[in-house]
Amino acid sequence: MEFPKDKFSEWYQEVLEQAEVVDNRYPVKGCLVWRPFGFKLRSLIAGYLRQLMEATGHEETLFPALIPEDALKKEEEHVEGFKAEVYWITHGGDTPLDVKLALRPTSETAIYPMFSLWIRSHADMPLRVFQIVNTFRYETKHTRPLIRLREITTFKEAHCAFPDNASAEAQMDLINKAYSEFWDELGIPFLIVKRPEWDKFPGADYTISFDTIMPSGKTLQIATSHNLGTNFSKTFNISFEDKDGNQSRPYITCHGISDRAISSVIAIHGDNRGLVLPPRFAPVQIVIVPIIFRDREEDVISTTRKIHEKLKTKYRVVLDDTNDTPGNKFYKWELKGVPVRIEIGPKDVDSNAVTVVRRDNLHKESIPLDDLVERLDNIIEDITASMKEKARNEFESRLITVSSKEELSAWDGKPVVVKAPVCGDESCAREVEGILNKEFRGTELKKQGKGSCVICGKPARYMGVWSNAY
Ligand code: PR8
pLDDT digits (tens, 9 = 90+) for 408-428: 999 999 999 999 999 999 999
In the prediction, which pLDDT does 447 show? 85
The mean pLDDT of 325-351, rounded to a whole number, is 97
In the prediction, which pLDDT does 448 show? 84
In the prediction, which pLDDT does 77 show? 86
Query: Same domain, yes or no, for 67 and 183?
Result: yes
Based on its alpha-carbon atoms, the radius of gyration of the chain, rounded to whole angstroms, reads 25
Cβ contact 441:469 at 8 Å: yes
In the prediction, which pLDDT does 394 show? 98
Q: Is 254 in the pocket of ligand 1 (CB under 6 A)?
A: yes
| Residue 3 belongs to a domain | no
Tell me the best of 224, 226, 470 to mutate to test the pocket of ligand 1, counting ligand atoms within 8 Å of each CB and taking the most: 224
Long-range residue pairs from 58-62, CB within 8 A, at least 24 positions apart, any chain: 58/128, 58/129, 58/130, 58/158, 58/160, 59/128, 59/129, 59/130, 60/129, 60/130, 60/131, 60/132, 61/129, 61/130, 61/131, 62/131, 62/133
The mean pLDDT of 318-337, rounded to a whole number, is 97
| Residue 280 belongs to a domain | no
Beta strands in 24-109 (DSSP E): 33-34, 59-60, 66-68, 87-92, 95-103
Q: Is 67 in the pocket of ligand 1 (CB under 6 A)?
A: no
Identity of residue 261 = A
Query: Same domain, yes or no, for 195 and 307?
Result: no
Query: Same domain, yes or no, for 170 and 239?
Result: yes
Identity of residue 10 = E
Nearest atom in ligand 1 to 155's CA:
28
Return the closest-CA partner of residue 67 out of 31, 30, 29, 114.
114
The mean pLDDT of 45-68, rounded to a whole number, is 98
- The last residue of a domain, from among 269, 298, 320: 269
Query: Same domain, yes or no, for 27 and 168?
Result: yes
| Residue 387 belongs to a domain | no
Cβ contact 356:342 at 8 Å: yes
Return the closest-CA partner of residue 37 out of 260, 336, 340.
336
Beta strands in 164-316 (DSSP E): 191-194, 206-213, 219-229, 240-241, 247-248, 251-257, 286-290
Q: Is 152 in the pocket of ligand 1 (CB under 6 A)?
A: yes
| Residue 30 belongs to a domain | yes
The mean pLDDT of 307-318, rounded to a whole number, is 97
Q: Which residues of 404-428 are buried (b: 16+ CB within 10 A; e: fewer)?
A: ebeebeebeeeebbbbbbbbbeeeb
In the prediction, which pLDDT does 247 show? 96
- CATH number for position 422: 3.30.110.30
What distances in angstroms separate CA 421 from CA 207, 214, 403, 414, one per listed residue?
20, 23, 7, 19
| Residue 463 belongs to a domain | yes
Local confidence band at 358 (pLDDT 50, 70, 90 cut-offs): very high
Average pLDDT, the chain: 97
Cβ contact 208:229 at 8 Å: no
Query: Same domain, yes or no, for 134 and 44?
Result: yes
The mean pLDDT of 360-383, rounded to a whole number, is 97
> What digits encode the pLDDT tens for the residues 63-112?
999 999 999 999 888 889 999 999 999 999 999 999 999 999 999 999 99
In the prediction, which pLDDT does 373 show? 96
In the prediction, which pLDDT does 192 show? 98
In this structure, of 26-40, 369-383, 440-454, the range with the lowest mean pLDDT score is 440-454
| Residue 130 belongs to a domain | yes
Tell me the best of 258, 259, 265 to mutate to test the pocket of ligand 1, counting ligand atoms within 8 Å of each CB and taking the most: 258
Q: Is 148 in the pocket of ligand 1 (CB under 6 A)?
A: yes
Is the pLDDT reported for residue 142 higher than 90?
A: yes
| Residue 276 belongs to a domain | no
Cβ contact 394:214 at 8 Å: no
Is the pLDDT reported for residue 446 higher than 90?
A: no
In the prediction, which pLDDT does 422 show? 96
Query: Same domain, yes or no, for 293 and 263?
Result: no
Nearest atom in ligand 1 to 148's CA:
5
Query: Same domain, yes or no, for 124 and 201?
Result: yes
Q: Is 145 in the pocket of ligand 1 (CB under 6 A)?
A: no
Nearest atom in ligand 1 to 209's CA:
26
Query: Same domain, yes or no, for 114 and 32?
Result: yes
Identity of residue 223 = A
User: Biggest alpha carbon distance in the chain?
Assistant: 87
In the prediction, which pLDDT does 449 show? 81
The mean pLDDT of 284-305, rounded to a whole number, is 94
How do strand 417-422 and strand 439-444 relate by DSSP bridges?
Answer: unpaired
Is the pLDDT reported for residue 372 higher than 80?
A: yes
Q: Is 394 in the pocket of ligand 1 (CB under 6 A)?
A: no
Report how far ligand 1's centroid is from the alpha carbon of 156 (Å).
9
Q: Which residues contact 431 (CB under 8 A, 6 or more apart)?
A: 455
In the prediction, which pLDDT does 1 show? 74
Q: 337 lies in which domain range? A: 286-379
Number of separate domains in the chain? 3
Is the pLDDT reported for residue 450 higher than 90?
A: no
Query: Same domain, yes or no, for 13 and 102?
Result: yes
**Whole-number Å distance between alpha carbons of 375 and 356:** 10
In this structure, of 267-271, 297-301, 329-333, 431-435, the range with the lowest mean pLDDT score is 297-301
| Residue 388 belongs to a domain | no
- Express as a percent the part of the chain with pLDDT over 70: 100
Q: Is the pTM of this model over 0.85?
A: yes
